[in-house]
């Protein structure tokens, strides 16, 4: 009997030596293969880095030239010089050139430079067209400023008529020396007109330069007030003429002056209306509605492209460069440690492991049989104590995990609420307790409204967040003695111990009010709502299964009638109604 045991023990040691040799050989092969893989990965990573550098260089050049072109457009709109015009043209051409070069770079990972280059190239062509239109508008004053036509065709003509007629009249009155007071009135009229036109020139200069746009309203008001002064002077001249009859004045002279002034002022009103709008310059709509949005869109696409490049770089550098630097040394170190470990374990395995394990196992067996005076050799006292401690810790962890598994089996993993198994158990306990002590209790079944639309529209993650928030609100709304459980999906069950119909109604009202409050899911405000079905024990059922069915039917009625909640009725308790419910 002893010989086979020795052969078996000896055979186990030979198997161990052979297994250790195989492990050592396998480790060497693994390190060699890993080293080759790391070298290949390093070369691939280096190629990707060079490609990303080229992509970033082209992207930055495109953005730089775009900003230079944008600055050139702004400068040209302020001061149209050939230098700024050339700046816009050259930089847009440079941006197009680098976009074409971007398309030639090969793709890496999920980056497709040709696709982004095609999109940007098309938008650059549109941007070039808009820039040319802006530059052309800036050199055409009448096309740039819509009010210039009125100034040229009306204000200038009426000003010439007014000043010519007025100057002739003043010269005639000055030569006659007959009506000195009338002469002074015409001098005042001339002064009024000079002030009026000077104020208009100041208003026009401010509008065209844009230096003091908040002061435009005040300057326009000054023109209005000066025109009123001019009108009063004209009225005084008209009254003076009726009284003293200024013979030197033709009958139509004063009429011509008044008509010129009125025509001039009406044109000024039109100009003021044009200048008060957002498009008093014809290049503003083109700049705001076409050039600038298109420019911002191109820049945004380039920024997004840069972020994709950075993400690719992080992937390569983090996953491959670190591997290339560390795996080779680590694997060789592990190989050496493993080989040394195998040798050490082989030398001391029998003395340090096998014998102590056998002695401790025998001691544990003896202890399980309630033997006394168990002797443990002094050689393995520490190891034996460690094994016993490990066994005790293992038994404690087994008990702890068993408790945790029981909790997981009885609670919902998403909301941490009791699940169907636990609510069924508590419902059975409530039925037995109520039968012994009398009284009643209520069961509420609740189903969320519009939950499917939330899942389909915002995704299951948003739906899970809705279920968690609803669960927290239910726990805050209910009493400590109540139990709320998630049965599955968006269906909940609420057990109200010792509750009658009035108390169940009160709690249902609280839940309905709570469900009317919106849920904040990220940036969305959601109105979920719920339908509640209420059943009482023993009024509506004599066992837990029937009570669940009645509450479920009542919940269906509440959802169909959109009433918030509904009690079980005698009609619902009939078999025919439950069949129709199905």
Question: Which pLDDT belongs to residue 2?
Answer: 39
Looking at 279, 308, 338, the residue that finishes a domain is 279
Identity of the highest mean pLDDT range in 112-121, 244-253, 573-582: 112-121
Question: Which pLDDT belongs to residue 104?
Answer: 87
Contact 178/172 with Cβ under 8 angstroms?
no
Average pLDDT over residues 94-112: 85
State whether 257 and 401 are in the same domain: no
Neighbours of 197 (CB within 10 A): 17
Instruction: Tell whether the model's pLDDT for residue 417 goes beyond 70.
Output: yes
- Cβ-proximal residues to 338 (8 Å cutoff; 6+ apart), any chain: 23, 24, 27
- Does a structural domain hold residue 360? no
Question: Which pLDDT belongs to residue 279?
Answer: 61
Distance CA 54, CA 63 (A): 14
Q: How does pLDDT run across 426-474, given as a tens digit for each residue?
A: 999 999 999 998 889 999 999 998 888 888 888 999 999 999 999 999 9
Structure tokens at 305: 């492209």
Instruction: Tell whether the model's pLDDT for residue 199 goes beyond 50.
Output: yes
Question: Which pLDDT belongs to residue 371?
Answer: 60
State whether 75 and 55 are in the same domain: yes
Distance CA 179, CA 249 (A): 11
Give the pLDDT band of residue 497 (cuts 50, 70, 90).
very high
Question: Which pLDDT belongs to residue 374?
Answer: 61
Sort 124 into a burial class: Cβ within 10 Å, 0-12 / 13-18 / 19+: buried
Distance CA 557, CA 570 (A): 13
Where are the alpha helices (H) located in 349-478, listed in sequence order? Answer: 355-368, 381-410, 420-437, 451-458, 460-477
Identity of the highest mean pLDDT range in 9-13, 201-205, 559-563: 559-563
Instruction: Tell whether the model's pLDDT for residue 211 goes beyond 60.
Output: no
Question: Which pLDDT belongs to residue 558?
Answer: 93
Question: Which pLDDT belongs to residue 329?
Answer: 74
- Does a structural domain hold residue 316? yes
Distance CA 540, CA 569 (A): 8
Give the pLDDT band of residue 248 (cuts 50, 70, 90).
very low
Rounded percentage of the chain residues whose pLDDT exceeds 90: 21
Give the pLDDT band of residue 228 (cuts 50, 70, 90).
very high
Looking at 243, 260, 279, the residue that finishes a domain is 279
State whether 83 and 172 are in the same domain: no
Q: How does pLDDT run across 342-367, given as a tens digit for each residue?
A: 776 666 656 666 666 666 566 656 65
Q: Which residue in 515, 513, 478, 470 sits closest to 499, CA to CA?
A: 478
SS3 at position 520: strand
- Lowest-pLDDT range of 26-35, 113-122, 421-430, 512-521: 26-35
Q: Residue written as tokens 């098309």? A: 122
Question: Which pLDDT belongs to residue 345?
Answer: 63
What's the structural domain count of the chain?
A: 4
- Does a structural domain hold residue 474? yes
Give the pLDDT band of residue 565 (cuts 50, 70, 90).
very high
State whether 124 and 193 are in the same domain: no
Question: Which pLDDT belongs to residue 579?
Answer: 39
Q: Which residue in 446, 450, 445 sits closest to 427, CA to CA?
A: 445
Question: Which pLDDT belongs to residue 532?
Answer: 95
Q: Which residue in 287, 273, 387, 326 sits closest to 42, CA to CA?
A: 326
CATH number at residue 531: 3.30.70.270
Sort 259 into a burial class: Cβ within 10 Å, 0-12 / 13-18 / 19+: middle
Instruction: Tell whether the model's pLDDT for residue 303 goes beyond 80.
Output: yes
DSSP state of 175: H
Higher per-residue pLDDT: 468 or 318: 468
Contact 69/87 with Cβ under 8 angstroms?
yes
Distance CA 526, CA 528 (A): 6
- Does a structural domain hold residue 85? yes
SS3 assignment for 448-463: ECCHHHHHHHHCHHHH
Instruction: Tell whether the model's pLDDT for residue 576 goes beyond 50.
Output: no
User: Which residues does residue 525 pair with via DSSP β-bridges, in sequence order?
Assistant: 520
Give the pLDDT band of residue 389 (cuts 50, 70, 90).
low
Question: Which pLDDT belongs to residue 7?
Answer: 41
Domain of residue 85 covers 2-140+287-324
pTM for the full model?
A: 0.42
State whether 72 and 212 are in the same domain: no
- Cβ-proximal residues to 349 (8 Å cutoff; 6+ apart), any chain: 16
Instruction: Give Rg (Cα) of the chain.
Output: 47
- Does a structural domain hold residue 359? no
- The per-residue b/e assignment along 480-505, b for 16 or more CB within 10 angstroms, e otherwise, is eebbbbbbeebbbbbbbbebeeeebe
Question: How is the beta sheet containing 483-488 ordered, strand by strand?
Answer: 483-488, 491-496, 441-448, 530-537, 565-567
State whether 129 and 244 are in the same domain: no
At CA 535, angle to CA 555 and CA 471, rounded to 5? 60
Distance CA 133, CA 144 (A): 11
Average pLDDT over residues 82-104: 87
- Does a structural domain hold residue 129? yes
Tell me which H or E stretch contains 179.
Answer: none
State whether 538 and 435 are in the same domain: yes
State the distance between the two ends of the chain, measured CA to CA, in whole angstroms: 73
Contact 173/179 with Cβ under 8 angstroms?
yes
Contact 98/58 with Cβ under 8 angstroms?
yes
State whether 225 and 189 are in the same domain: yes
Structure tokens at 346: 């082989």
Where are the alpha helices (H) located in 139-287, listed in sequence order? Answer: 141-144, 147-150, 156-176, 180-209, 216-244, 253-276, 283-286
SS3 at position 446: strand
Question: Which pLDDT belongs to residue 19?
Answer: 65
- Does a structural domain hold residue 368? no
State whether 116 and 209 are in the same domain: no
- Does a structural domain hold residue 127? yes
Q: Residue written as tokens 């944008």? A: 70
Neighbours of 521 (CB within 10 A): 18
SS3 at position 75: helix
Structure tokens at 558: 């509440």
Tell me which H or E stretch contains 78.
Answer: helix 2-78
List for the chain the helix, strand, coil content (%; round to 5): 75, 5, 15
Question: Which pLDDT belongs to residue 387?
Answer: 58
State whether 126 and 223 are in the same domain: no
Looking at 386, 408, 430, the residue that finishes a domain is 408
Instruction: Tell whether the model's pLDDT for residue 12 goes beyond 80.
Output: no
Give the pLDDT band of residue 219 (cuts 50, 70, 90).
confident
Average pLDDT over residues 245-271: 78
Question: Which pLDDT belongs to residue 298?
Answer: 87
- Averaged pLDDT of the chain: 79
SS3 at position 190: helix
Give the pLDDT band of residue 50 (cuts 50, 70, 90).
confident
Question: Which pLDDT belongs to residue 444?
Answer: 96
SS3 at position 279: coil
State whether 23 and 110 are in the same domain: yes
Neighbours of 342 (CB within 10 A): 19
Question: Which pLDDT belongs to residue 468?
Answer: 94
Question: Which pLDDT belongs to residue 9?
Answer: 43
Structure tokens at 363: 């001691």
Structure tokens at 201: 């020139």
For the chain, the maximum distance between any two Cα atoms, rounded to a whole number of angstroms, is: 161
Instruction: Tell whether the model's pLDDT for residue 241 goes beyond 90.
Output: no
Q: Which residue in 64, 261, 76 sits closest to 155, CA to CA?
A: 261
State whether 175 and 29 are in the same domain: no
Distance CA 243, CA 286 (A): 59
Contact 528/519 with Cβ under 8 angstroms?
yes
């Amino acid at each position: 009997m002893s010989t086979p045991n020795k052969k078996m023990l000896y055979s186990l040691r030979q198997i161990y030596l052979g297994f250790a040799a195989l492990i050592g050989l396998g480790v060497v092969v693994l390190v060699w293969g890993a080293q080759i893989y790391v070298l290949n990965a390093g070369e691939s990573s280096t190629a990707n880095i060079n490609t990303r550098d080229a992509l970033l260089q082209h992207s930055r050049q495109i953005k730089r030239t775009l900003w230079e072109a944008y600055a050139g457009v702004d400068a040209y709109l302020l001061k149209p010089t050939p230098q700024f015009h050339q700046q816009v043209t050259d930089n847009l051409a440079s941006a197009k050139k680098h976009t074409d070069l971007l398309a030639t770079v090969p793709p890496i990972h999920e980056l497709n430079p040709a696709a982004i280059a095609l999109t940007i190239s098309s938008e650059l062509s549109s941007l070039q067209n808009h820039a040319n239109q802006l530059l052309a508008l800036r050199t055409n004053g009448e096309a740039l400023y819509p009010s210039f036509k009125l100034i040229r065709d009306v204000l200038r003509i009426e000003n010439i008529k007014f000043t010519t007629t007025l100057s002739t009249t003043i010269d005639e009155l000055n030569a006659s020396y007959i009506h000195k007071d009338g002469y002074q009135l015409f001098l005042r009229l001339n002064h009024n007109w000079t002030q009026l036109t000077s104020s208009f020139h100041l208003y026009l200069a401010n509008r065209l330069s844009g230096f003091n746009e908040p002061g435009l309203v005040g300057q326009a008001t000054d023109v209005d007030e000066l025109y009123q002064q001019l009108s009063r002077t004209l009225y005084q001249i008209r009254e003076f003429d009726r009284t003293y009859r200024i013979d030197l004045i033709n009958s139509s002279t004063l009429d011509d002056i008044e008509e010129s002034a009125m025509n001039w002022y009406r044109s000024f009103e039109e100009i003021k209306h044009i200048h008060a709008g957002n498009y008093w310059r014809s290049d503003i709509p083109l700049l705001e509605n076409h050039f600038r949005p298109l420019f911002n869109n191109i820049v945004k696409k380039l920024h997004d492209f840069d972020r994709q490049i950075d993400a690719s770089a992080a992937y390569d550098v983090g996953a491959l460069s670190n591997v290339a630097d560390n795996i080779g040394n680590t694997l060789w170190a592990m190989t050496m440690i493993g080989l040394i470990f195998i040798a050490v374990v082989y030398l001391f395995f029998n003395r340090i492991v096998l014998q102590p394990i056998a002695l401790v196992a025998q001691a544990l067996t003896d202890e399980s049989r309630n033997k006394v005076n168990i002797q443990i050799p002094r050689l393995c006292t520490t190891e034996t104590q460690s094994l016993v401690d490990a066994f005790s810790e293992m038994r404690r962890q087994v008990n702890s995990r068993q408790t945790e598994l029981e909790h997981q089996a009885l609670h919902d993993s998403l909301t941490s609420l009791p699940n169907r198994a636990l609510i069924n158990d508590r419902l059975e306990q409530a039925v037995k307790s109520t039968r012994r002590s009398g009284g009643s209790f209520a069961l509420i079944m609740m189903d969320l409204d519009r939950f499917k639309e939330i899942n389909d529209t915002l995704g299951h993650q948003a739906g899970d967040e809705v279920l968690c928030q609803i669960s927290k609100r239910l726990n805050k709304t209910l009493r400590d003695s109540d139990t709320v459980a998630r049965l599955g999906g968006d269906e909940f069950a609420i057990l109200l111990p010792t509750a009658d119909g009035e108390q169940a109604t009160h709690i249902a009202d609280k839940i309905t009010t709570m469900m009317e409050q919106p849920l904040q899911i990220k940036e969305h405000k959601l109105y979920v709502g719920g339908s509640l079905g209420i059943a009482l024990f023993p009024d509506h059922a004599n066992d837990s299964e029937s009570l669940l069915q009645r509450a479920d039917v009542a919940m269906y009625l509440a959802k169909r009638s959109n009433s918030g909640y509904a009690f079980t009725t005698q009609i619902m308790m009939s078999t025919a109604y439950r069949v129709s419910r199905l």
